[in-house]
Chains A and B, each alone.
Chain A
Amino acid sequence: MTALAPEKVVASFDSATVLHAGLAAALRGSPFPHLGHGPVAAAAIRTGGRLPWPVLRHLYTRIGAAEGIDPRRLGAVDLAAVARWLADGYPRRRYPAIMIGSSNGALAHLAAAMQVPWLPGTVLVPVSRTGDPERPADALGFGRTVAPRLLDANPDVVLHHMHDQVQDRLMVAQMTYFRTKWHTLPAAYAQFLSAQLAPGAPVILVEDGSRWPVVRVAERHVFQAGAQGGLEPQDYLQRGHTPTPDDQAPEAEWGADPGLGVSVAAWCAGHGHPLIRLRYPGPQAPAHGVATTMRRWYAARGEPADRLLVPSFVLGDPWRTINAAATPYWTFFSVRAALDAFESHLERSAPYRFVDILQFQHGVRSSGIATPEQWTAAARRNGAQPTLLALDPRRFPHDIATMGRYGRALADLPAATRPWSPLPVDEAMGALRAAGADLDS
């Protein structure tokens, strides 16, 4: 069976893939408008975004569903080729560190400031499937049938089949989410480390400790009902047609596979590179430390450092953020937990003058969602002037066109005034540690 091209294997809306693309753009010194899509697609998104929501919802779902892989072709998915494609996405030069592991938008911004790459530990393979979103058990049965083709062809991954009918409601009616985690270091990543790490440079292992109750289907296959966001695991498990979990596993989207960590540690020991383990309890946790670190970095060179930018999920642009000397406080989704963490950051920090807020639009007013009004109110309570960037709050959470507009909005931010050099890795790690991060080296 002919292998599928890597860019056809992973979802274009996958957090790992989009955060990777945004960071790769920053290492090429390029902005990252409209999530890496071309200007024509961006114009189409902006135009289409004016349609009434019932029409747009249909289009959004159809376009998303078109990405699903025919389950009969899962044996043609080559995740080793995906790893090669991800590594090849970065410019070739000697880097002062390389990050590897869990997806995290805050750490992607820090990596851009350090000008170091990050190799994702998890990618999303969307699989075509039509089904009732309210019947996760059916999705589990489907996965049990078709997953062996994928797993047999890819012995170095663990499949975390995820079904979130709350936040991914529109998508899971037309596709199912196969999140795959490498449990050993892919050969392409090992080659990239060997070729691109500067002598003696560290590998930073990013380990999100998020876990979730799962049904264990096979040794390398688990099923997860629900996902991190507005609800807790028990909120999903109480719903009908939901299989009873019999195990715990790393959370499908954000959690770190321990096998990859063991493999990376062995590579470092064998190749004379120091290993730095960066551990945290969930995707929102690093944002405060990263914001604090980057704000100090700006202030040290004389920038006012009074502008906070709030990227949302995949909506953001590390290159533009840094060149506007805007402090990034990344939020993993527009949900209450992220809003509370954001407000806590504001309360613990010297006042910001401006707070520019991006809001990823997932199209569903799902449980636990945080509204634009709540975000702006939190900023005002802490003395800042909030702006909703590229968002029409009347259309929230359906303002899909924000994806085609945010690039322009970020380009219009005032440029930083002072020249900058990449944030030294040891300085960044020290500042993260001082801000409370769990770093082990």
Chain B
Amino acid sequence: MEAHLLRAPGAPGCPADIADYGREIGDVLGASEPTDILIGLSVGAQVAAVAASRTSCLQRLMLVSPTVDSQARNVPRILGRWLAGGRLEPAGLLLEQAPDWRRAGPARLARVVRSALAVHIEQLLPAVAAPVSVVHAEHDVITSHAYAARLAAADGHGQLVVVPGATHSWPYADADRFADLVEGLLG
């Protein structure tokens, strides 16, 4: 099985607009051999949902810590949650992400945030043909459990997965458990 790591929205060479980036990926997937699983983390989940809504060549969609919670769709709220979440994440995560943000620059980062507020995953899921797994970390304070569970329940066939003891960006620090989870979902 081949794995492809897609760059984060706003990274140099990638659209900063979540919807544009998702459409771009969806079109690529639609023109390719069937993909076993498309995984998005945080705003990447929004990109993945847009992409999945545009193709039938996808076997499974996995949304990890999907943003933006319907109860936090304005800049002050999402900023507040992001700051609260930052206090729970490992200190090294910020150092890992900072170079990417510096390369993207403030204007593109602002566009990522603005477009993230406009992309509502729950509105996209009815158009997603693939089964959906929504993965929620127990200590995620950016995305609420209620929102994750609502996404999983949206079409009656989704699956909610809770990761005990984990925070919003847990796959960065827990690659083994993340790999086990993906492997489990692929059967």
Residues of A within 8 A of B (CB): 27-30, 91-96, 115, 198-199, 323-325, 415-422
Contacts and interface: CB of A to CB of B under 8 A. Distances in A.
Contacts of B156: 94, 198-199
A96 B158 CA distance: 12
Contact of B153 (A94, A323, A325, A418): A94
Contacts of B144: 28-29
A93 B184 CA distance: 26
Contact of B164 (A28, A93, A420, A422): A420
A418 to B, nearest CB: 8
Nearest to A196: B153
B103 interface: no
Contacts of A421: 159-162
5 contacts: A91-B146, A93-B150, A115-B160, A323-B164, A420-B164
Shortest 3 CB-CB contacts between residues of A and residues of B: A29-B145, A415-B165, A416-B164
| Chain A residues touching B, majority SS | loop
A28 B160 contact: no
A96 B138 CA distance: 21
B165 A93 contact: no
A323 B162 CA distance: 9
Interface in B63-88: none
Nearest to A303: B164
Contact of A415 (B136, B138, B148, B181): B138
A421 B163 CA distance: 9
Contact of A419 (B149, B153, B162): B162
Contacts of B7: none
Given A91-B149, A91-B150, A29 B164 contact: no
B135 interface: yes
Contacts, number: 63
Contacts of B135: 419
Contacts of A30: 145
B145 A95 contact: no
A417 B156 CA distance: 27
Given A416-B164, A416-B165, A29 B146 contact: yes
A422 B146 contact: no
Interface string B169-187: 0000000010001001000
Interface string B123-142: 00000000000011010000
A9 to B, nearest CB: 26
A100 to B, nearest CB: 19
Of A93, A96, A115, chain B has the most CB atoms within 10 Å of the CB of A93
A325 B164 CA distance: 9
Contacts of B154: 94
A417 B164 CA distance: 7
Contacts of A325: 164
Nearest to B156: A198
B165 A420 contact: no
B171 to A, nearest CB: 11
Residue of B160, B181, B184 contacting most chain A CB atoms (<10 Å): B160
B181 A419 contact: yes
Contacts of A324: 164
A171 B149 CA distance: 40
Contact of A27 (B149, B159, B177): B149
Contacts of B181: 419
Given A417-B164, A421-B161, 13 more contacts: A28-B145, A29-B136, A29-B146, A92-B150, A93-B149, A93-B153, A94-B156, A198-B156, A323-B138, A323-B164, A419-B161, A420-B162, A421-B159
Nearest to A29: B145
B60 to A, nearest CB: 14
Contacts of B150: 91-93
A28 B163 CA distance: 15
Contacts of A27: 145-146, 149
A416 B135 CA distance: 16
A29 B153 contact: no
Nearest to B148: A29
A30 B138 CA distance: 8
Contact of B161 (A93, A95, A415, A420): A420
B74 to A, nearest CB: 20
Nearest to A325: B164
Given A29-B145, A416-B165, A198 B153 contact: yes
A421 B156 CA distance: 14
A408 to B, nearest CB: 15
Interface in B83-122: none
Nearest to A422: B160
B178 to A, nearest CB: 10
A417 B28 CA distance: 36
A199 B144 CA distance: 25
A271 to B, nearest CB: 17
B88 to A, nearest CB: 13
B164 A415 contact: yes
Contacts of B163: 419
A418 B166 CA distance: 11
